[in-house]
Structure 1
Amino acid sequence: MPARHHPLPALRLALCWTLAFAALPSGAQGLPPEPSYKGELVGDGKGGVIVRPFSAPEVRRENAPAQDDAPAGRSPRPERQAAPERRLPPPQAMPEPQRDPVAGPLTLEVGPSKKIPTIAQAAKIARSGDTIVVEAGVYAGDVAVFTQDKLTIRGGGGRVRLNANGASAEGKAIWIVRGGDITVENFEFVGARASAHNGAGIRFEKGRLVLRNCLFRDNENGILTAGDKAAELEVENTEFDRNGTVEGYGHQLYAGEIASLKVTGSYFHRAVGGHLLKSRAAKNVIMHNRLTDEAGGEASYELEFPNGGQAYVVGNLVGQSATTQNPVIVAIGLEGYRWPKNELYLVNNTLVDGRPAEGYFLRAAPGLQVLKAMNNLLVASRSHDFAPFSADAKGAMRDPGKTVRLPDPGVRQGDAGLKAEIRNNFVVSRDDFADAARFDYRLRERSALAGKFQPPGTANGVDLTPRADYAHPAQTRRLGGEPTLPGALQSIAR
């Protein structure tokens, strides 16, 4: 009986060859040729060995039928369990630009066509010393917080309009500024709202902020500051239009108890409610502006310093509207004096009483230390308006103790601590001006007031002489020489 051929030795030999080939490096010299079979070795049941080919992987062509579309008479393959859904990680914040550690500040360009599309992203990327240049256009809901120590933010190629569209940074404002020294130029802030009804175009909380050539319109507050007593706010050539709230708690510009406020060449008009300008700052320099509530405006005070401080009000056109909510145009100290120095210098202003009922140009609460009122033009028809501006008016008197008693038009209280200099103020009518109905308050040619200017000097190092005229809209024009006229404007209508 012939010996049976056992398949295992051949199987072991084939397996050893396979392992040997796998262990040698590819391309090694002296290797046998690659085996022609592609599969696994198994016994054939007759003492031999056969090769069972490996199953080819399934390839599904683009137009191949789905499993449910298998040809008739053939059972579809069992449905494979779908792989779990792969979720992409959330997008990461825009990476900060690579900076050379010893390189100077960067200019960051912002806009739909730029690498940084939004101002909010630029606010997170920018470092102290940088300049952010924003492409002109409309940016909806692009709210931001700026905390850099030194930063310039500028609209490039025209004004940049920021529409709040219901968004607010930290529930407060379109922009929040709590940095060191930040300058903002060429922006419009529109439609700020907040749940507390004090949404602001800009909420200024800390540092020094300079604004130039901006517009604040239809906000609950145009600018609202916190009460940081070291903060400084400077506003130049900026317009405030239809800001405020009907309840009177929002204002066009509302400065809290900060160190200083300076406003020049700016235009305040058509308040929804509240004041055109309200400031609790320790020092206020308000020069060469137009604060006129105009038709439909419902401002309270046009200009108020409720906690006193030093107020230098020079060369401004200030006017009530017929629908104003308060008979007083300028007020100081009505909520109590809180600063060591409480002084008002009211020089070369044109103050216009537009109320059909009686109004007051000035209301100063007892406790004011210094009042200097010179070279002002007072536009109204009722002598009741003028008592605070006349040293010999009824109720104003000098006693042997050199106490100056100046009447408060509201409560008629004397103030023994007041040092007052009230002179060279003139009562005029609207006919004395070029076109008062159109807010052209230049004096007419050959006016009897030509040459009536008197030098007001300085106060605490501040020059009280007007050096510019307000130029509409929201600009100033430097004077070519010394002033010669009382009132806000030195140019004559010819």
Structure 2
Amino acid sequence: MKKPLLFLASIFLTFTLCRATVWQVGPSQAYTLPSQVSTLVQNGDTVNIDAGNYQSDVCRWTASNLLLRGIGGYAHLESNGLSWGDKAIWVIQGNNVTVEWIEFSECTSTSQNGAGIRGEGLNLTVRNCYFHNNENGILIGAYSPCKYVIEYSEFAYNGFGDGYSHNLYIGNIDTLIFRYNYSHHCNIGQELKSRAKVNYILYNRFSNESSGNASREIDLPNGGMAIVMGNIIQQGVNGTNSNLVGYGMEGLSNPAPHNLYLINNTLVNEKTVGSFVAVNSGTNLYKGYNNIFAGGGSLLSGAPQTLDTSGNKYYSLIGSAGFVNSGAYDYRLLSGSTAINAGVAAGSASNGYSLTPVYEYVHPAGRIIRGLISTIDAGAHEFGLSTGEQSFAEDEIVFFKDGQHLVIMAGEQINHVSIYALSGAMAYRSAYPSLIPLTGLRSGIYIVYLELESGRKLSRKIFL
């Protein structure tokens, strides 16, 4: 009976996938507001929301495996102080939901923590979004088993101003992957606060800049496994906390090991006092390799059980670090900087994760590959090989594999991509792709058709 049962299960799965619906939302569509389809969508559906401004529209999403995305630019959900269920602009209760190209602003609630997104489901992905002027940017509770991925997004001017609301507040989930983001100017709260058991904080920019009054740039109050690598972390003169990175400062309640890996970051403190890093004295391991610490304050507050540091550079005066333009927050290295070739091999974390940076943050909310000839430099940037910008000839398109994804880079925004096998069968299609999953693409030759923001259409032959 096993084969018939498997056959029936296959038919049911195929039928379910074929029933997935693409919903169109926009001023000229049958549905003019996202809330009008939020109660209609089924598991696996896609909602395309035309770029534009959607006033006072808030809703809840309960279906799972949804793709919710803006088309043609940001779909701006300007809530004008409204929130669904007194919680958020979008309350996402379904599992495995992806949100792309949505702008969330001006959410409030009676509890003073109205969020752009309130995550109440498992395994949310947020990509290429913009959260600003809410009481919280993203607010997540305690869910397990649960992984949140937040990438290529900007968070600005969120926070009620009481110190209990933040640009992002991540509760006790299993894993947070936070990468290629720009989080800045939180109102009194943290630029990122995460109680996740495991945190991968990679290649971001956290900054108060000249006028910001945020508290910590990164706060990991309950410890656990934390890999903080390749970030630009800047505290301005008006910062309201004495340190930039806090670890375990509300108690080491996450599962052990309580290991903090601070690798190849550039940390700049424009205040004359404080500490760059504060750890709970029960921390099992603080491993700090190849960081640049520039500005006032001590390097470390607290006494971890094991302290492992190497390859770091400390400059009490920011101007002596050899940055390209610290006044404009450009912390790439000049040719005379003593941080060049100052790094050492950092090895791997206790969970096997490589502690060699492979990318650099590119402003705003992007990344490039980090070049390396021989000895790694200290800090978030490698001198001479990574410029912080990608330049392309008019028709130049770059394809490369990044783990389980195909990455396409061009000199302008890619609006649409279609991939066909040589047989003519469509293998993949998406609007505004950032990462194309390789799952389902067998080894072989494919034709890729691209539509660019300028209206140009290009095709390339690739081999996977």
Shared fold by TM > 0.5?
A: yes
1:151-166 equivalences in 2 (<5 Å): 151-166=66-81
1:422 partnered with 2:309: yes
C-alpha displacement at 1:481, in angstroms? 4.3
Partner of 2:199: 284
Q: In structure 1, how many angstroms separate the alpha carbons of the residues matched to 2:164 and 2:85? A: 20
1:369 partnered with 2:284: yes
C-alpha displacement at 1:364, in angstroms? 0.6
1:296-307 equivalences in 2 (<5 Å): 296-307=211-222
Amino acid at match of 1:305: L
C-alpha displacement at 1:363, in angstroms? 0.7
1:329-348 equivalences in 2 (<5 Å): 329-341=244-256, 342-348=258-264
Question: Of 382, 385, 393, which aligns to 2:298?
Answer: 385
Deviation sequence 1:127-161 (CA, Å, 0-9, x none): 11111100110001111111212010110111111
Partner of 2:348: 458
Q: In structure 1, how many angstroms separate the alpha carbons of the residues matched to 2:160 and 2:17? A: 49
1:55-66 equivalences in 2 (<5 Å): none
C-alpha displacement at 1:337, in angstroms? 0.8
Partner of 1:469: 360
Amino acid at match of 2:318: R
Question: Of 334, 348, 360, which aligns to 1:444?
Answer: 334
Q: In structure 1, how many angstroms separate the alpha carbons of the residues matched to 2:27 and 2:84? A: 21
Q: In structure 2, how many angstroms separate the alpha carbons of the residues matched to 1:371 and 1:104? A: 51
3-state SS, counterpart of residue 109 of structure 1: strand
Q: In structure 1, how many angstroms separate the alpha carbons of the residues matched to 2:51 and 2:57? A: 14
Q: In structure 2, how many angstroms separate the alpha carbons of the residues matched to 1:102 and 1:371? A: 47
C-alpha displacement at 1:324, in angstroms? 0.7
3-state SS, counterpart of residue 28 of structure 2: coil
3-state SS, counterpart of residue 179 of structure 1: coil
Question: Of 180, 193, 198, which aligns to 1:265?
Answer: 180
C-alpha displacement at 1:205, in angstroms? 1.4
Q: In structure 2, how many angstroms separate the alpha carbons of the residues matched to 1:102 and 1:375? A: 48
Question: Of 142, 145, 164, which aligns to 1:249?
Answer: 164
Q: In structure 1, how many angstroms separate the alpha carbons of the residues matched to 2:192 and 2:218? A: 5
Q: In structure 2, how many angstroms separate the alpha carbons of the residues matched to 1:250 and 1:450? A: 39
1:186 partnered with 2:101: yes
Amino acid at match of 1:167: L
Partner of 1:39: none
Q: In structure 2, how many angstroms separate the alpha carbons of the residues matched to 1:179 and 1:481? A: 42
Partner of 2:227: 312
Partner of 1:488: 380
Q: In structure 2, how many angstroms separate the alpha carbons of the residues matched to 1:215 and 1:242? A: 11
Partner of 1:238: 153
C-alpha displacement at 1:420, in angstroms? 2.2
Q: In structure 2, how many angstroms separate the alpha carbons of the residues matched to 1:102 and 1:289? A: 36
Deviation sequence 1:299-319 (CA, Å, 0-9, x none): 111111111111100000101
Please tell me whether the aligned partners of residues 115 and 135 of structure 2 are also in contact (alpha carbons under 8 angstroms). Answer: yes
C-alpha displacement at 1:102, in angstroms? 7.8
1:80-99 equivalences in 2 (<5 Å): none
Q: CA 1:250 to 1:105, structure 2 compared with 1: closer, same or farther past 3 Å?
A: same
Q: In structure 2, how many angstroms separate the alpha carbons of the residues matched to 1:306 and 1:314? A: 18
Please tell me whether the aligned partners of residues 484 and 490 of structure 1 are also in contact (alpha carbons under 8 angstroms). Answer: yes
C-alpha displacement at 1:206, in angstroms? 1.8
Partner of 1:15: none
Question: Of 89, 100, 107, which aligns to 1:174?
Answer: 89
Partner of 1:53: none
Partner of 1:119: 34
Deviation sequence 1:59-91 (CA, Å, 0-9, x none): xxxxxxxxxxxxxxxxxxxxxxxxxxxxxxxxx
Q: CA 1:115 to 1:314, structure 2 compared with 1: closer, same or farther past 3 Å?
A: same
Which shifted more, 138-147 or 185-194?
138-147
Q: TM-score, normalised by structure 2?
A: 0.76
Q: In structure 2, how many angstroms separate the alpha carbons of the residues matched to 1:102 and 1:359? A: 55
Please tell me whether the aligned partners of residues 181 and 208 of structure 1 are also in contact (alpha carbons under 8 angstroms). Answer: yes
C-alpha displacement at 1:340, in angstroms? 2.0
Please tell me whether the aligned partners of residues 93 and 121 of structure 2 are also in contact (alpha carbons under 8 angstroms). Answer: yes
Amino acid at match of 1:485: D
Q: In structure 2, how many angstroms separate the alpha carbons of the residues matched to 1:445 and 1:265? A: 26
C-alpha displacement at 1:246, in angstroms? 1.6
3-state SS, counterpart of residue 298 of structure 2: helix
Q: In structure 2, how many angstroms separate the alpha carbons of the residues matched to 1:455 and 1:286? A: 19
How many residue pairs get aligned? The number is 366
C-alpha displacement at 1:480, in angstroms? 4.1
Partner of 1:95: none
1:214 partnered with 2:134: no
Please tell me whether the aligned partners of residues 138 and 169 of structure 2 are also in contact (alpha carbons under 8 angstroms). Answer: yes
Higher strand share: 2
Among the aligned pairs, what percent are the same residue? 36
Please tell me whether the aligned partners of residues 180 and 207 of structure 1 are also in contact (alpha carbons under 8 angstroms). Answer: yes
Amino acid at match of 1:423: S
Q: CA 1:448 to 1:491, structure 2 compared with 1: closer, same or farther past 3 Å?
A: closer
The unaligned stretches of length 5 or more in structure 1 are 1-99, 389-406, 409-413
The unaligned stretches of length 5 or more in structure 2 are 1-14, 388-464
Please tell me whether the aligned partners of residues 318 and 350 of structure 1 are also in contact (alpha carbons under 8 angstroms). Answer: yes
Amino acid at match of 1:359: G
Q: In structure 2, how many angstroms separate the alpha carbons of the residues matched to 1:448 and 1:295? A: 26
**What's the Cα RMSD here?**
1.7
Deviation sequence 1:383-429 (CA, Å, 0-9, x none): x513x3xxxxxxxxxxxxxxxxxx62xxxxx55xx122111111124
Please tell me whether the aligned partners of residues 304 and 332 of structure 1 are also in contact (alpha carbons under 8 angstroms). Answer: yes
Question: Of 324, 332, 345, which aligns to 1:434?
Answer: 324
Amino acid at match of 1:288: Y
Deviation sequence 1:451-473 (CA, Å, 0-9, x none): 22212111112121111110001
Q: In structure 2, how many angstroms separate the alpha carbons of the residues matched to 1:481 and 1:420? A: 27
Q: In structure 1, how many angstroms separate the alpha carbons of the residues matched to 2:35 and 2:75? A: 14
Deviation sequence 1:187-223 (CA, Å, 0-9, x none): 1100010001000000011211111111110000000
Deviation sequence 1:258-278 (CA, Å, 0-9, x none): 111111110011111111110
Amino acid at match of 2:34: I
1:104-143 equivalences in 2 (<5 Å): 104-143=19-58
Q: In structure 2, how many angstroms separate the alpha carbons of the residues matched to 1:145 and 1:455? A: 47
Q: In structure 2, how many angstroms separate the alpha carbons of the residues matched to 1:101 and 1:223? A: 31
Partner of 1:359: 274
Amino acid at match of 2:365: A
3-state SS, counterpart of residue 36 of structure 2: helix
